[in-house]
Amino acid sequence: MLASVKNILEEAKNNGYAVGAFNAFNMEEAQAIVRACVKKNTPAIIQVSEKTLNYAGDGLIYDVVKAVVDRESASIPIGFHLDHGHSYDSVIRAVEVGLDSVMIDAAELGFHENIAATKRVVEYAHPKGVSVQAELGIVPYLGEVDQNPNWEEFMTNPLDAKCFVEETGVDSLAVSIGNAHGFFRERNEPDWSRLEEIHKLIPDTYLVIHGGSDWVNHKVAEAVKRGVVCFNVDTDLRIAFNTVLCQFTHDKCTIIDPRTVMSDARSAVQEVVEKKIEMFRHPEK
Ligand code: G3H
Ligand code: ZN
């Protein structure tokens, strides 16, 4: 069933585990995520980016994800969230179409502009029952900055995080502790004491790790101990999906039924999601 993202995060927080927030761009990926959740009897969040809203159409992707959840998951709570909304307009688009959770990513704007942009979104979203995630500090992408950054300049300042949450009223915070998006090289070891400090100062805020694709059990366990309740995963799903597509796209390929390709790609994504949700829920295993 389509469920409130906030409730899913609250449940995770109260029970000391984390959930995955997985990016989907089409029916097959949504099915892969939902099927993994049903098989593992574990809640998760499906998220779409601005690019996906543009690719599929706002209403259509909403309907597709909702239909997949309604038809394939009667009992497992699955949330639906806008990932990396870069503008107020994107947030409005997502809320108008039906999402009950949005991210406003104004981290690149600098501290005060980030506060102003986030506060504006919170003031719009909260009266509608929509929860809001923001990012403080930078979780870098490959190609944007040098692969060997001065992490001190990127990572979330704990006192700023406290001030940011108080000023904006945001529900969740994407933190930078040495994590990075996609193929960007992460810091050798996440800054655990920084995360601990952030959690101590804003204990009621849901902490989110972006760039969760390459996170492994022991790191996930350390993060969950320090208040992280959600890991965003995109790249590993894309790799699983595309690897299957690539196997079929060579000159000698005789497969003419695209459903063969798509169902294999769907299964490959499902397998990845199953492993991730298991790890986020039980990282000590
Ligand atoms: O917002 C999406 C994520 O942060 C995904 O990061 O592509 O490294 O898994 P990833
Ligand atoms: Zn992200």
Which whole-number Å values give the CA distances from 141 to 57, 166, 184, 284, in the listed order?
A: 25, 28, 6, 29
Q: Is the distance from CB of 19 to CB of 277 less than 8 angstroms?
A: yes
Measure the CA–CA gap between 153 and 168, rounded to whole angstroms: 22
CATH of 5-281, one of 3.20.20.70, 3.40.50.1000, 3.40.50.300, 3.10.450.710: 3.20.20.70
Q: What's CA 52's distance to the chain center, in Å?
A: 14
Q: Which of 58, 63, 83, 204 is catalytic?
A: 83
Hey, is 149 helix, strand or coil?
A: coil
Q: Which atom of ligand 1 is nearest to the CA of 181?
A: 8
Per-residue pLDDT at 240 exceeds 90: yes
The predicted-structure confidence for 4-35, as pLDDT tens digits, reads as follows 999 999 999 999 999 999 999 999 999 999 99
Per-residue pLDDT at 252 exceeds 90: no
Instruction: Give the pLDDT of residue 146.
Output: 81
Per-residue pLDDT at 43 exceeds 90: yes
The average pLDDT across 243-267 equals 91
Per-residue pLDDT at 39 exceeds 90: yes
The average pLDDT across 271-277 equals 98
Strand segments, DSSP code E, in the chain are 19-23, 44-48, 78-85, 101-104, 131-136, 172-175, 206-209, 228-233
Least confident of 59-68, 113-122, 247-256: 247-256
Q: Give residue 232 CA to ligand 1 midpoint distance, Å.
A: 5
Q: Is any ligand 1 atom within 6 A of the Cβ of residue 211?
A: yes
The average pLDDT across 128-150 equals 92
Instruction: Give the pLDDT of residue 143.
Output: 80
Q: Which phi and psi (to 5°) does residue 53 adopt?
A: -60, -45
Q: Is any ligand 1 atom within 6 A of the Cβ of residue 83?
A: yes
Cα–Cα nearest to 186, from 134, 151, 232, 238 = 151
Find the ligand nearest to 83 CA: 1
Annotated active-site residue 83? The verdict is yes
Q: Which atom of ligand 1 is nearest to the CA of 180?
A: 8
Q: Which phi and psi (to 5°) does residue 22 adopt?
A: -110, 135
The predicted-structure confidence for 146-204, as pLDDT tens digits, reads as follows 888 899 999 999 999 999 999 999 999 999 999 999 989 999 999 999 999 999 999 99
Burial level of 4, CB count in 10 A (0-12/13-18/19+)? middle
Cα–Cα nearest to 65, from 80, 55, 77, 53 = 80
Q: Give residue 213 CA to ligand 1 midpoint distance, Å.
A: 6
Per-residue pLDDT at 231 exceeds 90: yes
158: alpha, beta or left? (left if phi > 0; alpha if psi -120 to 50)? alpha
Instruction: Give the pLDDT of residue 142.
Output: 86
